[in-house]
Homo-oligomer: A and B are copies of this chain.
Amino acid sequence: MTKNELFENIKRKKSFLCVGLDTDIQKIPQHLLQEEDPIFAFNKAIIDATADLCIAYKPNLAFYESMGVKGWIAFEKTVRYIKENYPDQFIIADAKRGDIGNTSAMYAQSFFGDLDIDSVTVAPYMGEDSVTPFLNYKEKWVILLALTSNKGSHDFQLTEDINGERLFEKVLRKSQEWANEEQMMYVVGATQGKAFEDIRKIVPNHFLLVPGVGAQGGSLTEVCKYGMNQTCGLIVNSSRAIIYADSSDKFAEAARVEAQKVQVEMAEELKAIL
């Protein structure tokens, strides 16, 4: 998917919501455990209930890997289901991968090969040759970790170098040598508030993937105030607050209600640029 196609979807749906499919067998409604593939059954119901309200889905690989082979099967089925039924959805493999060149190339193949996923989150610690193999696929995206939503983001990402540049700023600046805004996005946590201002000085035109609204406590209003640009430039993710809104057999309807609340807020925020 191109940057322009993504923006067209945002305008059409008046939404820049990404639903995070952090599907945990311990947390899904009990009655689904009778299904042959409970994880996929849950995802399918959530997707069918929310697809008109969001522009992206983000399965986090950790939740699938933790179930071994069964989890991997559920992950692949979920991706294929979205692609077949909702081809306008931008799919993010939230995997936070990154390794030496020949190995990152294998990870790129995992997600961009047969599965044909749109994007993958990548960790920057290992530098250029750990990232560039993901850029060899047309219209596929690297979403590089910059300033994450968790407490541990303070441990290293905020470290200032001798010129006063913080590590996440260096990641933003340096990585622009590897790809432009048509192939690179950045992860910036919604909990980071005003840091969005500093980030927009370095990457004014890039899309940012913003986790941390919902269960992690970030504010959508603040993210939009400091982070939105002329092509929206934001994909805001909510996982737990939507998918676990209810644990009864009405879970999908409840997820839809939560997704719609966010979408209505987003439509309001989008008025600033549309």
A222 within 8 A of B: no
A109 within 8 A of B: yes
Given the contacts A66-B107, A66-B113, A123-B123, A155 and B167 also touching, CB distance less than 8 Å = no
**A62 to B162, Cβ gap below 8 A?**
no
CA distance A115 to B65 in the complex (A): 11
**A106 to B156, Cβ gap below 8 A?**
no
Point out the residue from B103, B157, B161 that lies within 8 Å of A162, measured CB to CB: B161
**A170 to B159, Cβ gap below 8 A?**
yes
Most buried by B among A66, A109, A114, A151: A66
0/1 string, A120-158, CB within 8 A of B gives 1? 000111111111000000000000010011111111110
Point out the residue from B22, B60, B99, B170 that lies within 8 Å of A62, measured CB to CB: B99
Find residues 83-125 in chain A having any chain B CB closer than 8 Å to their own CB.
94, 96-101, 103-104, 106-107, 109-110, 113-115, 123-125
CA distance A148 to B129 in the complex (A): 12
- Find chain B residues with CB under 8 A from A1 CB: none
CA distance A204 to B99 in the complex (A): 26
A48 within 8 A of B: no
Point out the residue from B60, B150, B171, B211 that lies within 8 Å of A130, measured CB to CB: B150
Which of A35-43, A67-75, A194-202, A255-263 interfaces with chain B? A67-75
**B152 to A170, Cβ gap below 8 A?**
no
Point out the residue from B99, B152, B153 that lies within 8 Å of A96, measured CB to CB: B99
A5 within 8 A of B: no
Find residues 157-196 in chain A having any chain B CB closer than 8 Å to their own CB.
157, 159-162, 164, 167, 170-171, 174
Find residues 239-272 in chain A having any chain B CB closer than 8 Å to their own CB.
none
Chain A contact patch, size range: 35 or more
- Find chain B residues with CB under 8 A from A154 CB: 127
A226 within 8 A of B: no
Point out the residue from B76, B115, B125 that lies within 8 Å of A145, measured CB to CB: B125
- Find chain B residues with CB under 8 A from A66 CB: 106-107, 109-110, 113
Interface CB pairs A-B, < 8 A, 16: A22-B103, A62-B107, A66-B107, A68-B110, A69-B73, A72-B72, A96-B123, A101-B150, A124-B156, A125-B145, A125-B156, A127-B152, A127-B156, A128-B155, A129-B150, A129-B151
User: Chain A: residues with CB nearer than 8 A to chain B?
Assistant: 22, 24, 60, 62-63, 65-66, 68-69, 72-73, 76, 94, 96-101, 103-104, 106-107, 109-110, 113-115, 123-131, 145, 148-157, 159-162, 164, 167, 170-171, 174, 211, 216
Would you list the 4 A-B pairs with minimal beta carbon distance, nearest first? A127-B152, A127-B155, A62-B106, A65-B110
